[in-house]
Amino acid sequence: MKVNRVQELWKNQQAAIGGWLTIANSFPAEIMAHQGWDVLTIDMQHGLVNASELVPMLTAISTTDVTPFVRVPWLDPGIIMKVLDSGSYGVICPMINTREDAERLVSYCRYAPQGTRSFGPRRAVLYAGEDYAQHANETILTFAMIETQKALDNLDEIVTVEGLDAVFVGPSDLGLSLGYTPGNYEEPVLLEAIESILKKAHSQGIRAGIYSYTAKFARRMIELGFDYVVISSDARLMVSQAQQVLEEIRIK
Amino acid sequence: MKVNRVQELWKNQQAAIGGWLTIANSFPAEIMAHQGWDVLTIDMQHGLVNASELVPMLTAISTTDVTPFVRVPWLDPGIIMKVLDSGSYGVICPMINTREDAERLVSYCRYAPQGTRSFGPRRAVLYAGEDYAQHANETILTFAMIETQKALDNLDEIVTVEGLDAVFVGPSDLGLSLGYTPGNYEEPVLLEAIESILKKAHSQGIRAGIYSYTAKFARRMIELGFDYVVISSDARLMVSQAQQVLEEIRIK
Amino acid sequence: MKVNRVQELWKNQQAAIGGWLTIANSFPAEIMAHQGWDVLTIDMQHGLVNASELVPMLTAISTTDVTPFVRVPWLDPGIIMKVLDSGSYGVICPMINTREDAERLVSYCRYAPQGTRSFGPRRAVLYAGEDYAQHANETILTFAMIETQKALDNLDEIVTVEGLDAVFVGPSDLGLSLGYTPGNYEEPVLLEAIESILKKAHSQGIRAGIYSYTAKFARRMIELGFDYVVISSDARLMVSQAQQVLEEIRIK
Amino acid sequence: MKVNRVQELWKNQQAAIGGWLTIANSFPAEIMAHQGWDVLTIDMQHGLVNASELVPMLTAISTTDVTPFVRVPWLDPGIIMKVLDSGSYGVICPMINTREDAERLVSYCRYAPQGTRSFGPRRAVLYAGEDYAQHANETILTFAMIETQKALDNLDEIVTVEGLDAVFVGPSDLGLSLGYTPGNYEEPVLLEAIESILKKAHSQGIRAGIYSYTAKFARRMIELGFDYVVISSDARLMVSQAQQVLEEIRIK
Amino acid sequence: MKVNRVQELWKNQQAAIGGWLTIANSFPAEIMAHQGWDVLTIDMQHGLVNASELVPMLTAISTTDVTPFVRVPWLDPGIIMKVLDSGSYGVICPMINTREDAERLVSYCRYAPQGTRSFGPRRAVLYAGEDYAQHANETILTFAMIETQKALDNLDEIVTVEGLDAVFVGPSDLGLSLGYTPGNYEEPVLLEAIESILKKAHSQGIRAGIYSYTAKFARRMIELGFDYVVISSDARLMVSQAQQVLEEIRIK
Amino acid sequence: MKVNRVQELWKNQQAAIGGWLTIANSFPAEIMAHQGWDVLTIDMQHGLVNASELVPMLTAISTTDVTPFVRVPWLDPGIIMKVLDSGSYGVICPMINTREDAERLVSYCRYAPQGTRSFGPRRAVLYAGEDYAQHANETILTFAMIETQKALDNLDEIVTVEGLDAVFVGPSDLGLSLGYTPGNYEEPVLLEAIESILKKAHSQGIRAGIYSYTAKFARRMIELGFDYVVISSDARLMVSQAQQVLEEIRIK
């Protein structure tokens, strides 16, 4: 089975740098796969990507050696198993708030006896190889999004769930849940929460990832110890550069 | 944030007149948006519209000032939040039968602290404006469909759920649940149920909407006091007129 | 090979009544196929249907015994042969203005030795049967649209082209070419031109069809002798009924 | 209402032979519908078919008299009801492990008073006829997939659920759950389990179906008494023949 | 009929600033429409946009007051008329090398008596208004791409074609034709050719546009006198910013 | 630039073995790319693949080292250049009947000064590398389909066109043009014509390819000297195996 390069990076003490795909089309996905990201995550939650566009986008990423992850819309076994059958090497699941949530997530991502994933990796075998069934349980990464006060309250119970590979911080939702405006990442209480999540994850030997809007914040998070940082998204990159170009042309 | 014109109509004591979209394509949606409806509802439950076609249809409606609503397939947080991120100004949710159902519906549609909606209004900010996060909770309308005997039994508990904006009557399903053939709207027991739903809703200060097959029935419902009436659907309009035209040409 | 029911109607001295499809989706196509039309024409010229949606729409029509025609975007061999390979039983080609145009149209629609159609009826054999190759040349109908002054000038040369089955009048374009506003069908000069086209066609033993907006005009055309009349389109039917319904509900 | 031909076969003591569709496109579906299968099942679980492609594929099958079934991704009312509204004559639901699971499956597939299915058979009436509402409850077949140890443990409770028409064995998942490699169908413990499922189903007067990779295994299962056997899938058929052809051309 | 804002800008002696769309999806089109461009051009030639995606993208632009243009794949009447029926307010046609090419371009874009455009502006009337037929000929802009030595040789004959609104320089192809590497815009011979095209156009009272990769080059072109400048494309903007962000995060 | 592996095979005196794709979907394309073909050709002429599905299919092939070719629908510069911009490494063009046809084909496929291809290899650079512009003219293969009596008559003039890489025989159309039923490949006159095409091509130092239905015929053609043989198609492979499986299960 094709190795999960994020696992390799982690073995070498390196953080994985991730891009984020919100446009439902294989062409921008293939372009992004040529830019130098370690990981590309297809965002089926807030991104405008649905099941019908998932496979062409995963296929586009598979023309390179970038590792494909998917953020699923919700903790739903139907879509999580579809994402895995389609060849994703990581599942980022939003709103994991309790131990039971985390256990369900792991269970949906693992074949028996570790879990309850149903067998039928139609496209995954094309991407990963014919021995997929033998190695999928150890190769596919599971990320529990920690993004509410409730999840913070239950964090000890979440990070100790057998088979969970990592937590992933959604700073906008976490900030919102703590009472701040989404997008503001500099609130001390929020930063403190982020740091405590990282520590709890590491203390249990699991990894921690985080979403960020800027390279600067992402670097800070790597320096803090995060194992996986996401910077911006396809759409946001386009908007930033469009703003820059239009300012340059419009301003006298 | 762009105002919700249905709220404006209601402030002015006017009922909102709605069309219904079941064809998964942006072109008939854009056509319908030019006919004079106050609202267009994309029907993802019984209509043949799925997540992949949702955004182009919402975009088509957004070329006009018609207010976009979506009927979701089920009380499912993944799809409800996707519908809102895509820019819908109202969510009509089928089969709300208990207080807990109604509470979940409201929760999925509201950001903290009122609810548990996850943050990421990718297209909604394009439609509504950059201040979407600040005003979405008061602008997005939530409709609980009352369409079973069980919902009637629990109606007091449903209409008093904090944050629910309106009930919406599905007369076919309600009739079926009461023992009648779907489509027959004239059963006295059914009409009585409809009237009692309207009254209960108004008694709690929330609004009431209803689906109907004909303009005539819709007018009767407005006269009864309904705040939002839907008349027919894109497909049914096409069928009615095709029948008329074919009768005219075929009959000697 | 499945018979062309339009040919049967014509043998029985009956005009074929046709609907018109402009919405790129199989669902309205299937609905329309259940209304009672003899023919449904998928409009790839002014309709918003492209090659990718052609096959699902033809397939939808094939669930019934309605005869499928396609209006192609232009006199182009690539698209005409694709339309035929996909299983259309008639090709309506716009802007046939000269004998050479008409000859090319016929040639693209017929296998050797009558024409130059390339062989590969991938879906057509599913619809028509395995003996498609043997009978296609006599079963597929070719319609040359007569819709300019230039075509009127060359009409004698067009209607005598070997293998052309019919002319088809586009009254809007013809009117425009004669100097009138498109949509106005009552100009005496236009009506006269329409009648002369019909006569010329019949005098050469070929058929004549015409597009119309209303059942009333279509009946008049049948009475005049037209063999195939189209009434309105899917989108226009929807609009007419929507206007009716909205007037009924809005007007006091 | 159009009869369910699988019910007819069963009345005549015949097993139904089924194909399996995993490619999200109406053209291979239409091709497969012409090969001689009794049933074609669109696989929305492990197949790469999603809601947006469901209707064109069902429509393609409807051009023939092959009976259309759908395997849904999960026990989810939203998608199950959509599948039925779209005109499927059978629902195969994965991972039915308890009596409650089976009861929910039946409930989602039946109108009141037998179940809780919501009314709106938009495409189903086109396929089945206008009297669909009256006969759907007795015509649509429900299949509970038995594919885990847990389901075996609860089998008595599952097969006695009122309104369940059949069980359907997923040998790969069942084998996996019993501790074997998926794809190995010859383990005695697995074969024994398969036989016991068949017997339990028949003892309660319900039917039994099974998935298989080869015609040989399928025949064995028919001889054992199975009422419905599936052989291979569109993609697997293509692969087998490609392998054969390439061996023939490559080997000296 | 909705005015063409590019014509307004030109009346006010202002150059129009244009973005360029190559991703076949309505979401990035809608995002780009909110950034502040005067014009957005959907590129059906080298962009990966085809006829099926054209209408949703035009619709997305129509949610704002940005003017929609389309670059067509070739001088082909079928696709040019489809683009106009779909509501484009400008047609940029590649490889106009002779007077006859330019005359055909104009003819395809104008209704009789000025041209041979066929009547059926299905979506255009939704965008532009019901009086579209009366004003389209003066409102739709035609751009002839000058991008070969042959076109330079025939430039006097091209710019004097009645009804041509503007030339549009494709510097990559023009450079290639003159013997330079595409993408190198600084060759003196190329810059001289660009300037001569501009002068010839202006000398005949028609406008001139040009494609550029950078805001800097675009400004130079505006200063030179160009009336319409395009800067970069959706995909290129995304790439530039991705490169910037990745350099920032990767470099020590 | 990524090498064209067909050129490598030819340098090593090996024939290229090709598969054929007619199903408009990336999943069967990716499956086929894993079976062991040297080349996969996407058939946009008789296959049911259109421009919108081209890029996802090419992308699917690009996950492997199989060489991607496209058969275009017709000798049309718009679609030929689009196919090349999308990353195809070979263009098979139907119905090349004259020297002028062949010259146009070559011209559309080559950048200046060899041809008139317009510059903008949007996806091609992702597949082939950033130096695509420098090497495309020598790397992209052009195939002229010889499939009519007229082409046979003009063969000397066709095979000597500068820059044409190969001829490709379409035996069905060629047979039809010679007066035989399509699909019958054993007519002596046809076989003789095939052999003469091969000889003429080789005598001018260009290559020859041919389509065939069976591995057996393909081997014969390789033994005859053909450089590239295509065997069957995705759909036909599926049908053959389905027939085999159904015979096995149905026959007593």
Residue F89 banded pLDDT, cuts 50, 70, 90: very high
Size of interface A-E (CB pairs under 8 A): 106
What is the pLDDT of chain A when averaged over all its residues? 97
Q: DSSP letter at C15?
A: P
Any catalytic annotation for residue C34? no
CA angle E243, E215, B123 (to 5 degrees): 65
Which chain F residues are within 8 Å of D19, Cβ to Cβ?
Answer: 242
Segment (H or E) for D186:
none
Q: Tell whether the model's pLDDT for residue E223 goes beyond 70.
A: yes
Assess contact for D166 and D227: CB atoms under 8 A: yes
Place of tokens 């993004």: A147
Q: What's the gap between Cα C197 and its chain centre?
A: 16
- Is the bond leading into D113 cis (omega within 30 degrees of zero)? yes
pLDDT digits (tens, 9 = 90+) for B209-249: 999 999 999 999 999 999 999 999 999 999 999 999 999 99
Whole-number Å distance between alpha carbons of C128 and A46: 46
Q: How confident is the model at residue D135 (pLDDT cuts 50, 70, 90)?
A: very high
Q: What is the pLDDT of residue D252?
A: 56
Q: Given a cut of 90, is residue A184 above it in pLDDT? A: no
- Per-residue confidence (pLDDT) for residue E252, from 0 to 100: 56
Q: Give per-residue burial for D35-69: e unless 16+ CB within 10 Å, then b.
A: bbbbbbbbbbbbbbbbbbbbbbbbbbbbbbebbbb
Determine the residue among C27, C52, C53 to mutate to test chain D binding: the one whose Cβ has the most chain D Cβ atoms within 10 Å.
C27
Chains near D with 3+ CB pairs less than 8 A apart are A, B, C, F
- What is the residue-wise DSSP string for C22-46? -S--HHHHHHHHTTT-SEEEEESSS
DSSP string, C114-158: T--PPS--TTHHHHH-TTHHHHHHHHSEEEEEE-SHHHHHTHHHH
pLDDT, tens digit, for every residue of F202-241? 999 999 999 999 999 999 999 999 999 999 999 999 999 9
Residue A252 pLDDT exceeds 80 = no
Dihedral, CA of residue D81, residue D74, residue D45 and residue A41, to nearest 10: 110
Q: Does D19 touch chain A (CB under 8 A)?
A: no
For residue range D3-58, what is the model confidence (pLDDT) as tens digits? 999 999 999 999 999 999 999 999 999 999 999 999 999 999 999 999 999 999 99
Please report how many Cα atoms fall inside a 13 Å half-sphere around the Cα of residue D48, on the Cβ side: 26
HSE-CB of F8 using CA atoms within 13 angstroms: 9
E123: nearest CB among C48, C52, C76 = C48
Exposure string over C139-153, b if 16+ CB within 10 A, otherwise e = bbbbbbbbbbbbbbe
How much is the pLDDT for E151? 98
Could you tell me the two tokens for E47?
């962009």
**Range C64-81 average pLDDT:** 98
Mean pLDDT of A29-54: 97
Asked whether the beta carbons of A78 and D73 are under 8 A apart, the reply is: yes
The reported pLDDT for the residue numbered B185 is 86
On whether the CB atoms of residues E247 and E30 are closer than 8 A, the answer is no
Question: How far is F243 from chain C, CA to nearest CA, in Å?
Answer: 15
| Structure tokens given for A44 | 């089926």
Give residue-wise pLDDT tens across range B136-155: 999 999 999 999 999 999 99
CA distance C152 to F98: 34
Secondary structure in 3-state letters for chain E: CCCCHHHHHHHCCCCEEEEEECCCCHHHHHHHHCCCCCEEEEECCCCCCCHHHHHHHHHHHCCCCCEEEEECCCCCHHHHHHHHHCCCCEEEECCCCCHHHHHHHHHHHCCCCCCCCCCCCCCHHHHHCCCHHHHHHHHCEEEEEECCHHHHHCHHHHHCCCCCCEEEECHHHHHHHHCCCCCCCCCHHHHHHHHHHHHHHHHCCCEEEEEECCHHHHHHHHHHCCCEEEECCHHHHHHHHHHHHHHHHHCC
Identity (one letter) of the amino acid at A73?
P
Q: Which residues contact A32 (CB under 8 A, 6 or more apart)?
A: A19, A21, A40, A234, E238, E242
pLDDT at E169: 98
Rounded Cα distance between D144 and D71, Å, is 10
Q: What residues form DSSP beta bridges with F17?
A: F229
CA distances for B128 relative to A235, B8, D139, angstroms = 18, 16, 46
Q: What is the DSSP string of C166-233?
A: EEEE-HHHHHHHTTS-TT----HHHHHHHHHHHHHHHHTT-EEEEEESSHHHHHHHHHHT-SEEEE--
In whole angstroms, how far apart are CA F57 and each of C57, D52, D234?
Answer: 22, 19, 18
Average pLDDT over residues C74-85: 98
Paired with C169 in beta bridges are C146, C210
Quick one: tokens of F147?
């499939």
Tokens of A129: 């190889």
Q: Span A156-172, mean pLDDT?
A: 97
Quote the pLDDT of residue B184: 83
Check residue C88 and give left, alpha or beta (phi > 0: left; psi -120 to 50: alpha): beta
| Residue E46: Cβ-neighbour burial (10 angstroms; 0-12, 13-18, 19+) | buried
The single-letter DSSP state of residue A66 is P
Per-residue pLDDT reduced to its tens digit, D145-179: 999 999 999 999 999 999 999 999 999 999 999 99
Hey, what are B15's tokens? 């009922």
Whether A contacts C, i.e. 3 or more CB pairs less than 8 A apart, is no
**Could you tell me the end-to-end alpha-carbon distance of chain F, in angstroms, rounded to an integer?**
57
Q: What is the pLDDT of residue F183?
A: 81
Quote the minimal CA–CA distance from B96 to chain D in Å.
12
The predicted structure's pLDDT at residue B20:
98
A26: nearest CA in chain F? F56
Q: How confident is the model at residue F182 (pLDDT cuts 50, 70, 90)?
A: confident
User: Domains of chain B by range and CATH?
Assistant: 5-250 (3.20.20.60)
pLDDT tens by residue, A192-201: 999 999 999 9
C126 interface with B at CB cutoff 8 Å: no
Per the CB < 8 A criterion, the answer to whether E49 and E21 are in contact is yes
Summarize the confidence of residues E161-184 as an average pLDDT: 94
Q: Does F126 touch chain E (CB under 8 A)?
A: no
Of B28, C23, C153, which is closest to residue E126 (Cα–Cα)?
Answer: B28
Instruction: Tell me the per-residue pLDDT of F113-159, one tens digit each, with 9 for 90 and over.
Output: 999 999 999 999 999 999 999 999 999 999 999 999 999 999 999 99
At A158 the three-state DSSP class reads: helix
Residue F252: predicted pLDDT: 56
% of chain B beyond a pLDDT of 90? 96
- This prediction has a pTM of 0.98
| pLDDT higher than 90, residue F184 | no
pLDDT number for residue E183: 81
* Cβ(D83)–Cβ(D72) below 8 Å: yes
Please provide residue C71's backbone torsions phi and psi, each rounded to the nearest 5 degrees.
-90, 120
Half-sphere exposure at residue B216, Cβ-oriented, CA atoms within 13 angstroms: 2
**Token pair belonging to C122:** 């991938």
Cβ atoms of F103 and F80 closer than 8 Å: no
**What H or E segment, with its residue span, contains residue D40?**
strand D39-43
Closest Cα in chain C to F77: C78
Interface test with F, best of D249, D250, D251, D252 (most F CBs within 10 A): D249
Any bridge partners for residue A145, and if so which? A168
Q: Measure CB to CB from residue C23 to each of B28, B242, B249 and give the nearest one.
A: B28
C122 vs F47, F177, F181: nearest CB: F47
Which among A24, A76, A172 is the nearest to B78, CB-wise? A76
**Mean predicted confidence (pLDDT) in E72-85:** 98
Complex ipTM, two decimals? 0.96
What is the reported pLDDT for C153? 98
Supply the pLDDT for residue D184. Answer: 83
If contacts are CB pairs under 8 Å, which of residues 27-86 in chain E contact chain B? 27, 30-31, 34, 55-56, 59-60, 62-63
Percent of chain E with pLDDT over 90: 96
Torsion of CA B241, B246, B249, C3, to 10 degrees: 140
Helix (H, G, I), strand (E, B) or coil at D141: strand
Q: Are A238 and E31 inside 8 Å of each other by CB?
A: yes
Nearest to F72 by CA among F115, F35, F105: F105
d(CA E81, CA C77): 18
Span A74-85, pLDDT tens digits:
999 999 999 999
Nearest to C120 among F45, F50, F72 (CB): F45
